[in-house]
Structure 1
Amino acid sequence: MSEAGNDGRGWSGDRLDLDAYLARIGYEGERTPTLGVLRALQRAHVTSIPFENGNAVLGKPVALDLETVQDRLVRGSRGGYCYEHVVLFASALERLGFAFTGLIGRVTLRNPKILPATHALIAVRPADDDRLWLCDVGFGSGPLEPIEIADGVEVDFDGWQYRVERRDGVLGIDEWWLHQRGEDGWLDRHTFTLLPQYPIDYAVGSHFVSTHSRSPFTARLFTQKFSATHHHRLDGATWTTFRPDGSSTERKIEPAELERVLAEEFEIVVEKDELVQLEQGLASA
């Protein structure tokens, strides 16, 4: 579980502008390491800070030091992908006194191929609860609250449904699977183990995701905004809105619409020079 210090295991919670972060996500509750606070923090975080890969598409570095992440996700009108979200959320958990560890997941989405383990997650044990809870704050489509890491657990958060499954892994190492219910039933979202991960591990994974030619995040813009009532996703020029009942709507946007859609629907404001490059990317897709 988390411990501060200079040995690489800490999450820089002492350098977090906690007041600014809590204001950014609209959280005004208690600041104690309890399950109730954890639930409220995750709901506030995932519904306030969008998911986006703008820097990777633009060929800009995606730094994971806390100061850079705060400038972008807290002080700026931007979002981030899973590593940025988890670094920020973990620093807040550390500052508030939670016991936790970073984890790494492997996105599946019914893909028969083994994909790289590049999804950041957190396992948390609150001070007032003996159970272990999964905080998946950086996927872009919830969940709204933590989910207990226990085989067969099913949850419903305002109509958004998720399920946890344990499977026997290689050499007896448990594999944990998170499923999400959609229009076509249960979809396996990602799998993970409980092997602890640290900031340096995320730096390695993030470098691949943000720079490798085979990474989908370097090829096209991908943004998401999630709430209790809808999930907006912009994948290239395809804007899809999902709802808890499984229904969805989809349409293509024109490059000239990008600035408005990002600002009004995803709460993302990009610099003019960046906007021009992103518009050109949509036009050439």
Structure 2
Amino acid sequence: MTDSINLDAYFNRIQWGGSTRPTYDTLAQLLHAHMRHIPFENLDVLLGRGIRIDLDSVQKKLVHARRGGYCFEHATLFAAVLEQLGFQPVRHSSRVIILTPRTEAPRTHMFLTVPLPEGTFVVDPGFGGLAPRVPVPLIDGESANIDEETHWMVRDEGRWVLRAQVMSDTPVNAWVTSMEQDYPIDFEMANHYTSTYPASPFMNRILMRALTDEGRVTVMNRDATIWRGGTPRKFELEDRRALRGLLAEYFGIDLPEVEHMRVPGVPEWA
């Protein structure tokens, strides 16, 4: 076991050869490279393997095995990289409120803030299809834009809300947070709930996102969308073999096990 990050292996994974100085430009470019090369996916939850979020386990999966992961894995890995480079990331949790009222949404999402001379920025590589690809200023209403995506933070009764408008869709409230610092045990608890509680969305749905040179690919159960530029192509995966093929082509992952994977949210696949 180790509690340190292997930067050489990580940089190879994200194809990084740029600056490592702890500046805004480095942060923004590292975030983009991380999200471009390490996808978002919850397949190990559906395969019953469980999710471990200690740094050693996260490196083995996302870096060495060249898999993807979800928020706890992405944020744990990226925070360790930033710390090794001299940044001072702070770990936080939030309530995801895209489809759930905040009073019913548990604190099951992990993100970071990073203080810099230019200000403090929200960094969230593990928020699936709505994840901001650039650092978002922690300033009420100030937007961060890239391509056809806009994210901004809004103050709301003493809390902060991340708002997102992605690929010209209607703006949504993504998550809400008190912005207090959280600790490893908090994320262990939230990860256990997220990856094992029968009603957790991650236990019942395929949720995946990969970035490509031309756009992005998203999957929710059998519904897949491939974006090229600003144009989406939506289609339904015929079966689990089609899912395996899409994984190999766009996510760089070949998992024969998905051809037998049970997905409670897709009854005909269960």
Alpha carbons 1:221, 1:235 under 8 Å: kept:
yes
Q: Please point out which of 222, 225, 243 is paired with 2:210.
A: 225
Aligned residue type for 1:38: L
Q: Please point out which of 188, 192, 198 is paired with 2:173.
A: 188
**Higher RCO, 1 vs 2 (CA within 8 Å, ≥6 residues apart):** 1
**Residues 260 and 122 of structure 1: CA distance in aligned 2, closer, same or farther (over 3 Å):** same
CA distance in 2 between counterparts of 1:266 and 1:158 reads: 21
Q: Deviations over 1:23-78 (max 9, x none)?
A: 11111112121111111111111111011111111111211111111111001131
Alpha carbons 1:221, 1:278 under 8 Å: kept:
no
Alignment-derived partner of residue 26 in structure 2: 37
**Residues 117 and 228 of structure 1: CA distance in aligned 2, closer, same or farther (over 3 Å):** farther
Structure 1 unmatched runs, 5+: 1-10, 169-173
CA distance in 2 between counterparts of 1:73 and 1:152 reads: 33
Alignment-derived partner of residue 120 in structure 2: 132
Q: Give TM-score scaled by structure 1 length.
A: 0.85
Aligned-pair CA distance for 1:237: 1.4
Q: Deviations over 1:95-150 (max 9, x none)?
A: 11111210111111153352111111000013xx1411000110123311111111
Q: Please point out which of 169, 179, 184 is paired with 1:199.
A: 184
**Residues 32 and 213 of structure 1: CA distance in aligned 2, closer, same or farther (over 3 Å):** same
Written as runs of structure 1 = structure 2, the 5 A alignment for 1:65-84 is 65-84=54-73
Q: Please point out which of 81, 86, 100 is paired with 1:92.
A: 81
Alignment-derived partner of residue 148 in structure 2: 159
Alignment-derived partner of residue 8 in structure 1: none
Identical aligned residues as a percent = 31
Aligned-pair CA distance for 1:260: 1.0
CA distance in 2 between counterparts of 1:277 and 1:241 reads: 24
Q: Please point out which of 30, 45, 49 is paired with 2:38.
A: 49
CA distance in 2 between counterparts of 1:250 and 1:238 reads: 7
Written as runs of structure 1 = structure 2, the 5 A alignment for 1:103-182 is 103-112=92-101, 114-126=104-116, 129-141=117-129, 142-168=131-157, 174-182=158-166
Structure 2 unmatched runs, 5+: none
Q: Give TM-score scaled by structure 2 length.
A: 0.90
Aligned-pair CA distance for 1:280: 7.8
Aligned-pair CA distance for 1:226: 2.6
